[in-house]
Amino acid sequence: MAKHRLRDRKFRHDAAYRRAKKEQYAGRAVYKLEEIDAKFHLFKPGGRVLDLGCWPGSWLQFVAPKIGPEGLGIGVDLKAVSIDLPDHIQTLEGDVFKLKPGAFRKKFGAFTTVISDMAPQTSGDRPGDQHGSEELFLRALEIARACLKPGGHFTAKIFQGPRFPVILKSMRDTFQEAKAFRPASTRAGSFEQYLVGRGLRAGAHVDPGEDPSA
Ligand SMILES: C[S@@+](CC[C@H](N)C(=O)[O-])C[C@H]1O[C@@H](n2cnc3c(N)ncnc32)[C@H](O)[C@@H]1O
């Protein structure tokens, strides 16, 4: 059997994958969000959550009962989400670099939490993958600054690269509390982690206005 097929099998049959399947979650990533939320308390009943890079949908499955039917969850991904989700969760197909935060905020209102599990297509070229991940992280942060209510929370995945100290500093400037966190359920050998920001500072909100390029 080809090496990549063996790796695929290992990937598909690890414990978190089997647990997610048994618990009817769309992916193993749900356990990372569960850990992040247990530590940082990002969701509350009636909350309004924007999930960037939401496919196949396990984070939305986790968020749905946390915010309840009074809440609103919007997921965005390059790929269409095909799982069944409750009525208070909607998904959109799209690229976050083309998303217009001004129009988005006008349509859905402000959010209490923005989460991003976005990752680039990894190529094996570590500096290139880090750069792609940093760009996705920074775009998620930009959208959060335009779409979060003051006091809102944020978490996003990042592959730690050369810009990490600058990015951590901008998280500290943006949120009252900013921390790096690596969930225990992260796959061994992965260089990903999450940055978590609690409490958007009032001065950190960027008004996307009506600018069509915003
Ligand atoms: C690790 S998966 C997310 C898993 C998801 N959190 C879950 O629990 O099911 C990362 C996702 O980021 C998406 N993504 C990457 N770049 C994107 C972009 N520019 N715009 C929107 N989504 C993007 C990918 O399509 C992929 O589905």
- 79 within a domain of the structure (yes/no): yes
- 149 within a domain of the structure (yes/no): yes
Tens digit of pLDDT for each residue in 190-203? 889 999 999 999 98
Q: Which atom of ligand 1 is nearest to the CA of 29?
A: 8
Tens digit of pLDDT for each residue in 31-72? 999 999 999 999 999 999 999 999 999 999 999 999 999 999
Rg (CA), the chain: 17
- 12 within a domain of the structure (yes/no): no
CA angle (139 as vertex; 112, 110 as ends), nearest 5: 25
Please tell me the distance from the alpha carbon of residue 155 to that of residue 176, in angstroms, as a whole number.
13
Task: State the pTM of this model.
Answer: 0.93
Tens digit of pLDDT for each residue in 126-141? 899 999 999 999 999 9
Q: How far is the CA of 192 from the centre of ligand 1 (A)?
A: 14
Q: How far is the CA of 210 from the centre of ligand 1 (A)?
A: 27
Determine the length of the chain.
214
- 6 within a domain of the structure (yes/no): no
Q: How many domains does the chain have?
A: 1
**Cross-sheet strand order for the sheet of 89-93:** 89-93, 72-77, 48-52, 111-116, 148-159, 192-200, 175-181
Calculate mean pLDDT across residues 167-196.
Answer: 93
Choose, from 22, 149, 157, 169, the residue flagged as catalytic. 157
- 189 within a domain of the structure (yes/no): yes
- 33 within a domain of the structure (yes/no): yes
Concerning whether 10 is annotated as a catalytic residue, the answer is no
The CATH number of residue 36's host domain is 3.40.50.150
Calculate mean pLDDT across residues 9-21.
Answer: 77
Phi-psi sector, 179: left (phi>0), alpha (psi -120 to 50), beta = beta
Calculate mean pLDDT across residues 69-79.
Answer: 98
Please tell me the distance from the alpha carbon of residue 3 to that of residue 28, in angstroms, as a whole number.
23
Q: How far is the CA of 200 from the centre of ligand 1 (A)?
A: 24
Calculate mean pLDDT across residues 109-120.
Answer: 97
